[in-house]
Chain A
Amino acid sequence: MTRREAQEILLSCRPGREPADDPQVTASLELTRTDPELGAWYEQHRAWDAAIRQKMRAIPVPADLKYEILSGRKIVTGPAHWWTRRAALLAAAAVLALLLTLAVMLLKPRHSVPDTFAEFRTNVIAIALREYKMDLQTNDMGQIRTYLAMHGAPADYVTPPATDKLKLVGCGVLKWQGKPVSMVCFEDKGARGIWLFAIKAAYWKDRPGTQPEFQKVFSCPAASWSEGNIIYVLAGDTKEPELRKLL
């Protein structure tokens, strides 16, 4: 283990409360005892942790907030922000929907987001990274296929052979331009998320070929390929060589 790897592991731990059952953490802590430079860094990190924690917990809370919540005052009188103006928004949305329906019939507007494979790939990976929620949590691929089929998403996908070495954790159904997208979720040995997306779409000009093509989307490596009438994207919170091993 290198000094840098140890630092990265220790950054995610609460100093003084490191998990005793994690061999990587134990090895990192051992290194702080044998590597003076790392030891000094860790001492300073412990002090940083205590100081920043104390600052964050000192964020003042408005004195009347509890009263407002309990009295439901702002909720009753009409909130001022987007997440609480539901009723007004719903009414406005109903009127808008009516107008839009008429406009669609007359103008047939195009989607604001280009319907390309590149946009699709970026969008689904962004969703997995930022709002990752599984609709079904199970390690049973049969249940996953049934669930996806019930929700109109591709269920006859072919998983890359080496993904059977990963832990299957569940699935979700996403939407792209109104079309259902299957998201099959795995975890690697480090419990990092790996996602296989599958969509039935044959019309994209920039659709990938049958051999996997690799790109980096945000910080994630992603592999894309077509097989039959399904287009696949395999991406994960991992490094590209690790992803390549799965294909």
Chain B
Amino acid sequence: MGSRPDFEVLVDRYYAALFRFALSLTRKESDARDLTQQTFWLWARKGHQLHDPGKVKSWLFTTLHREFLQGQRRSTRFPHHELEEVPEEIPSVPSTMVNDLDAGIAVECLGRIDPLFQAPVALFYLEDHSYQEIADVLGIPLGTVKSRIARGIAQLQKVVLERQKGRRS
């Protein structure tokens, strides 16, 4: 067990990754900024309660995700729609199609998949989180993390394909 990291070092190490994760959840830059700041503000207040410095990264991502969910809960009820299974035919997306996207459109496409899959897919692509870290951040079992990533990626591929088809027609 090491010592507690310096606040500035911690900000330097994680603020960009946290902002990108926040943007993938909120899709609004101003909201993502505030959520990132709120996360560090909570760290400044409560971070001392964390005894294992090895879990700082997980604490920050978990806190950001929890703050996001709390805000969501205040404003919406749970949507009563069916979650999509992995499509019958898993699409094959040429990488050239992805090369046509910019980062903003990639986030927009991510925002069009089921909200349940957005966070696992974002953590899967944005950072080198292990499956166990993603499970810890989201508070879901390991097997569920894997199935949500698979379903989310299949949905994301479908969204990208449809978007590109729409542009051509």
Contact = CB atoms under 8 A, between A and B. Distances in A.
Interface of A: 4, 7-9, 11-12, 14, 41, 44-45, 47-48, 50-53, 55-62, 65-66, 68-70, 72, 74-75, 79-84, 113, 122-123, 126-127, 129-134, 169, 187-188, 190-193, 216, 218-219, 237
Contacts of A50: 95
Query: Of A4, A12, A58, A68, which is in contact with the most chain B CB atoms at under 10 Å from its CB?
Result: A12
A11 B34 contact: no
Contacts of A134: 139
A130 B78 contact: yes
A190 B146 CA distance: 10
Given A47-B95, A130-B69, A83 B19 contact: no
A57 B20 contact: yes
Contact of A12 (B8, B106, B150): B150
Nearest to B12: A66
Nearest to B10: A69
Interface in B142-169: 142-144, 146-147, 149-150, 153-154, 156-157
Interface string B72-102: 0111011011111110001011110011011
Given A79-B38, A83-B67, A219 B92 contact: no
Interface of B: 7-8, 11-12, 15-16, 19-20, 23-24, 29-31, 33-38, 40-41, 44, 67-71, 73-75, 77-78, 80-86, 90, 92-95, 98-99, 101-104, 106-107, 110, 115-116, 122, 124-126, 138-144, 146-147, 149-150, 153-154, 156-157
Contact of A56 (B19, B20, B38): B20
Contacts of B101: 55
Given A50-B95, A56-B106, A68 B37 contact: yes
Given A62-B19, A122-B78, A8 B150 contact: yes
A51 to B, nearest CB: 4
Contacts of B140: 132, 193
A79 B99 CA distance: 37
A58 B99 CA distance: 12
A8 B90 contact: yes
A191 B153 contact: no
A192 B107 contact: no
A48 B154 contact: no
Contacts of B29: 62
Given A62-B19, A74-B37, 19 more contacts: A7-B90, A8-B150, A11-B153, A41-B90, A48-B95, A59-B19, A59-B106, A61-B20, A65-B37, A66-B15, A68-B37, A70-B11, A72-B44, A83-B35, A84-B37, A122-B80, A130-B69, A192-B147, A237-B144
